[in-house]
Amino acid sequence: MFDCLTDAHCHADFTKSSPDGGLDAGMDLCACACYPEDWKALRDFSAPKVKKSFGLHPTRADMNLLPTIDDYLEFASAVGETGLDERAADGIPLEQQREVFDTQLRLADKFRLPAVIHCVGFWGELVKILKEWAARSPGAKFMLHAAKCSPEIARELEKIGGYFSFGLRELNSKKGAACAAAVSPDRILVETDALPSREIIFETIGKLADLRGTGDVELAQSAYVNYFRFYGK
């Protein structure tokens, strides 16, 4: 129905027999490979409308896994997803997550790329790290994927280059809905965080438009413009 659907954050599945990794969804999308074993398959895949993001997820934060990522970032539209995850802190202490996160933000600078951010808990720490990044890298852009921070934090993040991407899971939660209602129209994106699907994106746009009291088409168009402003052409 819309010719301007976008999926700002999805994941391929190259383990299936399908050679397209499930990415042939008929819309503009950014596929994220956030584990080292997924980097190569995504790099070697190419199709129109598919952008790529390579990073190391905080649940696998380990400096020893990072050295080869430069070989992939040359083909990337973003670094990530990277960030902090309180649920993983038993096995991967905050200090270690912070080091791996900060290293990836420095890679974003090196390759002049925006960053895709994952955060569960640790919000104070996340805001602090992103503020430090923004201060040393004017013009840096980042997208909070699966956004459900408080409206207050969202406003702080907008001031330093933050975009916000929402999927059905967030929009169906109280926190996510409050965040989605609060962010500026020029910072909003939509995502599946799974195999891309026009049907799911369509439903997400409808839900998000309802929450924001706007029309579906208007919202889809904003997300489209924001997608290309964030990831580049």
- Tell me the residue nearest to Zn ion as measured from the CB: 193
Q: How far apart, in whole angstroms, are the C-alpha atoms of residue 10 and residue 191? A: 6
Residue closer to Zn ion (CB basis): 55 or 162: 55
Q: CB-wise, 166 or 221, nearer to Zn ion?
A: 166
- Give the shortest CB-8-to-Zn ion separation in angstroms: 10
Alpha helices in the chain, H assignment, sequence order: 36-44, 70-73, 94-110, 123-136, 151-159, 168-171, 174-182, 198-212, 216-231
Q: In the Cβ-directed half-sphere of 51, how many Cα atoms lie within 13 Å?
A: 23
For binding to Zn ion (CB under 5 A), which residues are involved?
193
CB of 207 to Zn ion, least distance (A): 19
CB of 120 to Zn ion, least distance (A): 12
Question: CB of 136: closest distance to Zn ion in angstroms?
Answer: 26
3-state secondary structure of 192: coil
Q: What SS3 class is residue 111? A: coil
Contact 211, 177 (CB under 8 A): yes
CA distances from 176 to 1, 125, 139, 173, 187 (A): 26, 20, 26, 5, 15
CB atoms within 10 A of CB 135: 10
Total residues belonging to the chain: 233
Nearer to Zn ion, 38 or 193 (CB): 193
Nearest distance, CB of residue 119 and Zn ion, angstroms: 12
Give the residue with the Cβ less far from Zn ion, 85 or 193. Answer: 193
> Which C-beta is closer to Zn ion: that of 28 or that of 193?
193
Shortest distance in whole angstroms from residue 189 CB to Zn ion: 13
Q: What is the dihedral of CA 224, 190, 131, 181, to 10 degrees?
A: 100
Q: Which residues are 35's β-sheet partners?
A: none
Nearer to Zn ion, 170 or 193 (CB): 193
